[in-house]
């Protein structure tokens, strides 16, 4: 099972994500923020967005919003944005 092992702010609204299989990429939360829901609205604030953390291998924020590592991994891969560790 793919898990997040490291995150770091890139530039708002992007995070650099590193996964348990060694793959990494920069993920943009812009489409998520554009949904403008109760859970996604706080992410528009750069200070709040930077409070992202890893909880049980998932990307999370203090308001309870969580995104699974496998879905983030898949989305980055499908978009051609996932850099995989060399074999």
pTM reported for the whole predicted model: 0.93
42: Cα separation from own chain's centroid: 15
Sequence spans of domains, the chain? 4-78
Instruction: Give tens-digit pLDDT for 36-66.
Output: 999 999 999 999 999 999 999 999 999 999 9
Cα(76)–Cα(73) distance, rounded to whole angstroms? 5
Give the CATH number of domain 4-78; options: 3.40.50.970, 2.60.120.620, 2.60.40.10, 3.30.2020.10.
3.30.2020.10
């Amino acid at each position: 099972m793919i898990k997040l092992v490291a995150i770091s702010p890139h530039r708002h609204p992007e995070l650099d994500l590193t996964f348990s299989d060694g793959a990494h990429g920069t993920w943009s939360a812009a489409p998520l923020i554009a949904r403008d829901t109760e859970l996604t609205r706080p992410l528009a604030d750069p200070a709040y967005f930077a409070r992202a953390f890893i909880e049980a291998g998932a990307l999370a924020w203090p308001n309870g919003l969580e995104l699974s590592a496998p879905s983030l991994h898949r989305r980055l891969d499908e978009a051609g944005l996932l850099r995989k560790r060399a074999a």
